[in-house]
Amino acid sequence: MFEIAASWTWLVEAAPKSPLPENWLTLIFSKSGFFLYPILLCSIVGLAIALMKAMALRSGKILPAPLGKQFLDMARQRDMQGIVDLCGRFNHMPIARVTYSGIELTSAGADVMEKEMIITAGFELQERSRYLPALGVLSNVATLLGLLGTVTGMIKAFRNISIQGTTSTDIVAAGVYEALLTTAEGLCVGIPLFLAYHYFRGRLNEFGNQFEEYSTRFVKALYYGSPAGGAASK
């Protein structure tokens, strides 16, 4: 019995001791090369833009359904003064400014009025797309910086081989380590920024379609008394 216990003790002692796990933050800052810092800058600026766009492109701030329904109901009742007053109360919202731009051209006819509302909506959405192209640029730049770090890391590895005159893994490892870490860092920043850019572009396109539908329904409700419905009244 004691012999079996002694054999197990020998096996445990003979087993290789795994090193303690290295802190990931220490690993990143100690093993990565110079390109870690511009990648971090891309991530900070990109996150700031993404948060700004997330706040600016909320439905409740651009085309709120209750307010859209109110405008359409008033248009069907031809309550022009009520529409103007409501536009004044909610002048900070794009839907109110779009509606008011159409009301100003009521005498010009339905087609002109609808066209003006759609043009104004386009300007409103263009204003809210500010800095969004920078998000796409930062996504590409972060990925390319990661690839550039890969190249410089491999150059460092082969330079070490050239200087030392040997292909020992200890000499090559530092450069390869830097190359792989920088690649991962560039992709970890670039991919989320890429997804965020296309998500916000999709939101802007969706708002553009909703404003077109709203403009058509508003004009029909005002001129022909059509039922108020559509994206802005759901």
Give yes or no for a contact between 166 and 127, defined as CB atoms under 8 angstroms apart.
no
The 10s digit of each residue's pLDDT in 124-140 is 999 899 899 999 999 99
What is the per-residue pLDDT across 196-234, written as a single tens digit (0 to 9) for each? 999 999 999 999 999 999 999 999 998 887 654 445 544
- Give the length of the chain: 234
More confident residue, 226 or 153: 153
CA pair distance 106, 78, nearest whole angstrom? 11
Exposed (0-12), middle (13-18) or buried (19+): which is 3, by Cβ within 10 Å?
Answer: exposed
Q: What is the pTM of this model?
A: 0.76
Lowest mean pLDDT among 20-24, 63-67, 95-99: 20-24
CB-CB contact of 160 with 95 (8 Å): no
How far apart, in whole angstroms, are the C-alpha atoms of residue 124 and residue 169?
59
In this predicted structure, the answer to whether residue 8 has a pLDDT above a threshold of 90 is no
State the average pLDDT for the chain: 81
